[in-house]
Structure 1
Amino acid sequence: MTTTRPDPDLGLPDTDLPDTGPAAVRERDETDPLAGFRSRFAPVPEGLVFLNGASLGRLPAATADATDALVRGEWGARLAEARTQWLDLPQRVGDELARTVLGARPGEVVASDCTSVNLYKLGAAALRDRPGAVVLDDDNFPTDQYVLTGLAEEYGREARVVRTDPDRGPQPEEVRQAVAGGAALVSLSLVSHRSGALADLRGIQEAAHAAGALVLWDLSHAVGAVPLELTADGVDLAVGSTYKHLCGGPGAPALLYVREDLQARLTQPVQGWYGHREQLAMRHAFHPDPGIRRFLTGSPPVLSLAALLPALRLLGEAGTDRIRAKSTALTGLFQRLAAELLEPHGFRLAGPPDPARRGGHLTYTHPRARKLVPLFAERAGVLVDYAAHDRVRVSPAPLSTRFADVHEAVHRMHRVLKEEGA
């Protein structure tokens, strides 16, 4: 996968910040081309620094108005007559996802269900399409492992588990060895939820395709954090959550992507009226829609879909290249400050040291991580995340986080460590 390099003609921020002093940090904020987006989010409570965007993105200020307009103006005022204008909402939101953050064509994406359900649907569709094993890795998100091993058992297939270095992520050569002898499906996360490691999308796909396998990517920690070009990169299948870097809100419906030329040949296992080619005709026999709608099942979560749109408009306006450039600058600043202030107290960077090889978050190990994360919140007002196996996950959201916030957060965390004698 290619990574964005700063380009002055596009107004991209320079990712290099050699001086980490307060004055240099303030100057960076003053020249940040994305600084204006910060005011378009609901404010963080006074005294808190939010560095946990990989868990649940911040609330866009326009979201409350958008959902209120739907509840009062459409549902409240138009009653049951409003329901017909929501029939194609999963596709309309899907097309917006395709355009703004996925690099996909119209008609290749829908927003529906949750990531786990969509993973099951597309994994089953791949196994129905071709013979062979299911390949996954042991560093994938736990629900992915549960779903994929369950699918292998359900369809009588072998589940081959790649042993992955959690700080590097899955490697093409490891996948090449795992698919030797044939495979039906390879399913991995593009960005590791634990370390933030960014996988080699093209290299892994090349290895999988050579063995006849389809590749199903989980984009939950990638979408909105790194530029994606699903169509240009020849991605087969993808799913992903929309409540992290896409700021879709709690329980936001997940994305589901199927490359255009695969849609007519793949059948998903949870057939429902929303996937019927004549949805409102109420036929007794199921005939799947020829396009992306065949992967839908039942009535969509309309309020949650409406809540996702304001965030997508913000992301589309900002541009994923600029978001990515600022993201690498923010995590790079945290990394340099942490080397000076946190690592002497037992913090160790877990994951690629090069910000270009990470997603939108970085991770540190510490033997007391489980205890420290709530202490950072209670004593210092710094909101980061605890990840399994004694890891602290840090994810500054580029549209709503200042460089000064990162600077302040590391110094506050340092004070807590000194108090704790860690």
Structure 2
Amino acid sequence: MTLTYDDAVAMDLADPLAAFRDEFLRGDDPVAYLDGNSLGRPPRRTLERVEDVLRRQWGEGLIRSWEDGWLELPEQVGDRLAAACLGAAAGQTVIAESTSVNLYKAIHAACGLREGRDEIVATDADFPTDRFLVESVAGARGMTVRWLSPDVVEGVTADQLAAVLSERTAVVLLSHVDYRSGVLLDMAAVTEQIHAAGAVVIWDLCHSAGVIPLALDAVGADLAVGCTYKYLNAGPGAPAFVYVAERHLSAVRQPITGWWSSKDRFAMGPSYEADPSIRAMLSGTAYVPGIVAVDASVSLVAEAGIDAIREKAVALTEHCVALVDAWLVPHGFTVASPREPARRGGHVTVQGPRAREVADAMYAAKVIPDFRNPDMIRLGLSPLTTSYAELWTALDVTRQIVEGDRQLSV
């Protein structure tokens, strides 16, 4: 039976995470915001924490605030993020720079762990940054890229990997959740297969962190990177994170050897010596307001519990798929995401005729999805901020658009 609006309201009343919606600043709200998988809503506590940094810590403490706690923020907040949602012990994660910069460092560092091997494996359908950086690092190191071409819904398969893995494979870069369809890879099985070939794996966790329970240590992950402005709600351009397994810390070397990654950053010595800890993955001076914003948002995930967040994400996406089947599929749309909850992340993608115009009409009706070329409408369902009634309303508006009751944008 298709979810009714009354059903949705009742589910919101029974939702154990419902109170967290009040933790976020809403302002002049749209009818429905289904783009939290691109940019999450601002937590109220983030505004308070960042204002404290600007007014008190910087305004009153000035440069003394570095010694009063700022210096340790990248590792401290990294540890808190790791504990809340990465399944990683302390000392392996730092908050620093952007996802792109961290990914560049991680690919170089991973290649250095497998000197003598000359191939990198990646997918030709991954997010542009991942593909561009793989090509950049491969070119700089004289390596070859072996490209996989996974099905948008099925994702990378064991057979596809087996066809490219060899004694020449140094590094495999994969997104845990496909940014297009939301297909979720089996991290444990894939990591095991890559390790069996003697290679190192880097996991892109941009669409996983904060919505899916992870177990980086338990599955034996090597390196991972991810952003904090999607399900972690740390704000536009918020600093990203990078994880390096403890067993690699003594050997890992990255190319942006700024002073914050040196063993004694205040020695101002004549030559570079890498810090033996996870600090080796840092580069430049920490951006304090951004890291504090990450800390505030991570505290929300820790309070809600990543397992409870995942449970609601599954429920939201299940109802989303059911409503798409009932209301949009009869008009030529299809679900371009896995139907099995265990193989799906926190968003559902639909494809259909005139998808760009449908998305524009949704925007005009103040229902905010995310469009991806050429014909994908992503419906991002962020468990801490998206209600069941909001989801129902968004798809009801979309139904009216495709049925012609609301005018399509031209």
For normalisation by structure 2, the TM-score amounts to: 0.96
Amino acid across the alignment from 1:137: T
Per mean C-alpha deviation after superposition, the further-off stretch among 22-31 and 279-288 is 22-31
Instruction: State the distance in 2 between where 1:388 and 1:171 align.
Output: 24
1:67 pairs with 2:53:
no
SS, match of residue 293 in structure 2? helix
Which of 313, 320, 329 is the matching residue for 1:334?
Answer: 320
Alpha-carbon deviation of 1:262? 0.5
Amino acid across the alignment from 1:91: E
Residue matched to 1:417: 402
Alpha-carbon deviation of 1:182? 3.0
1:392 pairs with 2:377:
yes
Q: Aligned ranges for residues 341-356 of structure 1 at < 5 Å?
A: 341-356=327-342
Q: Deviations over 1:219-277 (max 9, x none)?
A: 00111111001111111100011100100101111110000011111111111110111
Structure 1 stretches of 4+ with a deviation exceeding 6 A read none
Q: 2:263 touches 2:275 (CA, 8 Å); kept in 1?
A: yes
Residue matched to 1:91: 75
Q: Deviations over 1:269-322 (max 9, x none)?
A: 111110111111111111111110011111011111111111111100001110
Instruction: State the distance in 2 between where 1:191 and 1:177 align.
Output: 21
Amino acid across the alignment from 2:63: A
1:276 pairs with 2:262:
yes
1:31 pairs with 2:26:
no
SS, match of residue 99 in structure 1? helix
Q: 2:191 touches 2:219 (CA, 8 Å); kept in 1?
A: no
SS, match of residue 250 in structure 1? coil
Which of 77, 91, 105 is the matching residue for 2:89?
Answer: 105
Q: 1:123 touches 1:148 (CA, 8 Å); kept in 2?
A: yes
Instruction: State the distance in 2 between where 1:367 and 1:29 align.
Output: 32
Instruction: State the distance in 2 between where 1:310 and 1:171 align.
Output: 37
1:401 pairs with 2:376:
no
Which of 346, 349, 369 is the matching residue for 1:360?
Answer: 346
Alpha-carbon deviation of 1:355? 2.3
Instruction: State the distance in 1 between where 2:124 and 2:402 align.
Output: 32
Instruction: State the distance in 1 between where 2:374 and 2:161 align.
Output: 25
Q: Deviations over 1:33-85 (max 9, x none)?
A: 11111111112524521111111011101111110000000100112222332
Tell me the percent identity. 38
Which of 153, 163, 176 is the matching residue for 2:139?
Answer: 153
SS, match of residue 77 in structure 1? coil
Q: 1:182 touches 1:211 (CA, 8 Å); kept in 2?
A: no
Alpha-carbon deviation of 1:181? 3.7
Decide whether aligned partners of structure 1 residues 236 and 47 sit closer, same or farther in structure 2, where only a CA change above 3 A counts.
closer
Residue matched to 1:305: 291
Which of 273, 277, 282 is the matching residue for 1:291?
Answer: 277
Q: 2:86 touches 2:215 (CA, 8 Å); kept in 1?
A: yes
SS, match of residue 281 in structure 1? coil
SS, match of residue 257 in structure 1? strand
Q: Aligned ranges for residues 9-28 of structure 1 at < 5 Å?
A: 20-28=3-11
Amino acid across the alignment from 2:8: V
Alpha-carbon deviation of 1:88? 1.4
Residue matched to 1:212: 198
Residue matched to 1:49: 32
Instruction: State the distance in 2 between where 1:129 and 1:381 align.
Output: 49
Instruction: State the distance in 2 between where 1:154 and 1:402 align.
Output: 47
1:124 pairs with 2:116:
no
Q: 1:108 touches 1:292 (CA, 8 Å); kept in 2?
A: yes
Instruction: State the distance in 1 between where 2:353 and 2:287 align.
Output: 41
Alpha-carbon deviation of 1:189? 0.3
SS, match of residue 279 in structure 1? coil
Instruction: Identify unmatched segments of 5+ residues in structure 2.
Output: none
Alpha-carbon deviation of 1:172? 2.0
Instruction: State the distance in 2 between where 1:207 and 1:233 align.
Output: 11
Residue matched to 1:202: 188
1:143 pairs with 2:119:
no
Q: 1:35 touches 1:402 (CA, 8 Å); kept in 2?
A: yes
Instruction: State the distance in 1 between where 2:302 and 2:78 align.
Output: 14
Which of 242, 253, 258 is the matching residue for 1:256?
Answer: 242
1:381 pairs with 2:343:
no
SS, match of residue 362 in structure 1? strand
Instruction: State the distance in 1 between where 2:143 and 2:105 align.
Output: 16
Residue matched to 1:177: 163
| Aligned-residue RMSD, C-alpha | 1.4
SS, match of residue 161 in structure 1? strand
Q: 1:376 touches 1:382 (CA, 8 Å); kept in 2?
A: yes
Per mean C-alpha deviation after superposition, the further-off stretch among 171-180 and 356-365 is 171-180
Per mean C-alpha deviation after superposition, the further-off stretch among 36-45 and 51-60 is 36-45
1:224 pairs with 2:207:
no
SS, match of residue 208 in structure 1? helix
Instruction: State the distance in 1 between where 2:332 and 2:38 align.
Output: 24
